[in-house]
Amino acid sequence: MKHSMTFTVRKILFVGIFAALPLQTSAQPGSETPGMAADLPWEESFVRGMIVSCPRAGQVWGSPSMVDSLDQLRELGVEWVAIHPYARVRRDGTVSSRPAAEVAYLQRAVEIARAAGVRLFWKPHLAYWGSFEWRGDIEFGTDEAAWRRFFDGYQRFIVDQARFAQKNGVEIFAVGVEYEQTTHREEEWRGIVKAVREVYAGTVTYAANWDSLDRVPFWDAVDWIGVHAYFPLSVDENPSRETLWNGWYEPLRQLETLSSKHRDKPILFAEIGYNRSSRAAREPWNDQMEETPQALELRQRLIEVALERIESEPFVRGMFWWKWIPGPDPWDRDFSMKNPEARLALENYWAAEPDANPAGSGRVTTGSKN
């Protein structure tokens, strides 16, 4: 999701943290592939997920607050969590990171999730703050040396993360997230997917922004088509439930066509979210908040319609909500799924008993909104 300039202060604060990360050079693709740490059979039910984010480098993922958060998420019907470890990218293409095996809070996060009975989506990100406006702007023009530096460093990072995911039995792994200005480098991306598959045996996806799905030439190389689903649904400030329901028809038609084009490859909503705003239906990516009753009601309506509408589509495999930050944090404002209206929507749809759940239990194949 492209964030607005209101994140600038936060980005500046984060830059110092990631600037100190050393360039990782030890991980090499093609090394021995260990067996999965646990035999975790896939269920046929819809993937009901939450992205657990962090205010800084991610230490909170291994904290007691993470234990409390997963308990709360399970009560809301969440069965999966996504975690997004960071590497740092610089303007010259340098990608720097610590080996995942040396980051104690990542291992602890896996242990906490397993103890809570939660499945994992590993979704490594690049910390672009101070170098680019957002990750979709990462590109190096005609500087071939920078491109080589970027892809060499990124492959080392992502293969190391994939090796960690394999060792810990992580079920879903993203090879990339919203790198819109890089996907035309098809050969390099196919090489990255191949290198990941050499060390990781789970489900592989790439997560593209909603308006860039046709800019990914390597969908055939991944298992699931990932989308950050910030589709505009209505130009109205206070659209009705029916209007929002109908607003999903065109995005879902596009996604079904994309799935069919690639031999019915499943679609994963790798990220979806709405803010407290009267603009949330027409600009779901906008992080400007409004603390008005109308904004709160619209947000709950948007979440509920998405929960019901998307789960009813047989070609959609699951969805991950943005976002939940464990524990109290001053940055936990926009898009927070801890807010009462968001929690209520999840309680009504994911935590409800099957006979009371408006979306039904597990997968449903009807497109009816009744």
Q: Which of 178, 252, 250, 254 is nearest to 216 (CA)?
A: 178
Please indicate, yes or no, if residue 359 is contained in any of the structural domains: no
Please check whether residue 56 lies inside any domain of the structure: yes
Q: Is residue 363 part of a domain?
A: no
Which pLDDT does position 55 carry in this prediction? 87
Our CA dihedral for 248, 254, 258, 260, rounded to 10 degrees, sits at 80
- Do the domain assignments include residue 286? yes
Predicted local distance difference test score (pLDDT) of residue 332: 80
Residue 366 domain flag: no
**In-domain check, residue 362:** no
Is residue 87 included in any domain, yes or no? Answer: yes
- CA dist 133 to 3, 4, 221, 259, 280, Å? 8, 9, 29, 31, 22
pLDDT tens for the chain, 370 residues long, are: 554 433 333 333 333 333 333 333 333 333 333 333 334 455 578 999 999 999 888 999 999 999 999 999 999 999 999 999 999 999 999 999 999 999 999 999 999 999 999 999 999 999 999 999 999 999 999 999 999 999 999 999 999 999 999 999 999 999 999 999 999 999 999 999 999 999 999 999 999 999 999 999 999 999 999 999 999 999 998 999 999 999 999 999 999 999 999 999 999 999 999 999 999 999 999 999 999 999 999 999 999 999 999 999 999 999 999 999 999 877 788 999 999 999 999 999 999 855 444 443 333 333 333 3
pLDDT at 237: 85
pLDDT of amino acid 1: 59
3-state SS class at 90? coil
Give the separation between CA 166 and CA 157, rounded to whole angstroms: 14
Q: Residue 218: its pLDDT value, please? A: 98
Domain of 302 in residue numbering reads as 5-349
Q: What is the pLDDT of residue 43?
A: 53
Looking up residue 42, the CATH number of its domain turns out to be 3.20.20.80
**Burial 78-104, CB ≥16 within 10 A → b, else e:** bbbbbbbbbbbbbeebebbbbbbeebe
Is omega for the bond preceding 2 within 30 degrees of 0, making it cis? no
The model's pTM is: 0.86
What pLDDT shows up at residue 80?
98
pLDDT at 354: 53
Per-residue model confidence (pLDDT) at position 333? 87
Long-range contact pairs involving 292-299 (C-beta distance under 8 Å, separation at least 24): 294/237, 294/238, 296/339, 296/341, 297/341, 298/238, 298/239, 299/274, 299/275, 299/339, 299/341, 299/342
Asked whether residue 168 is domain-assigned, the answer is yes
Are 114 and 157 within 8 A, CB to CB?
no
What is the count of structural domains for the chain? 1
The one-letter amino acid code at 189 reads W
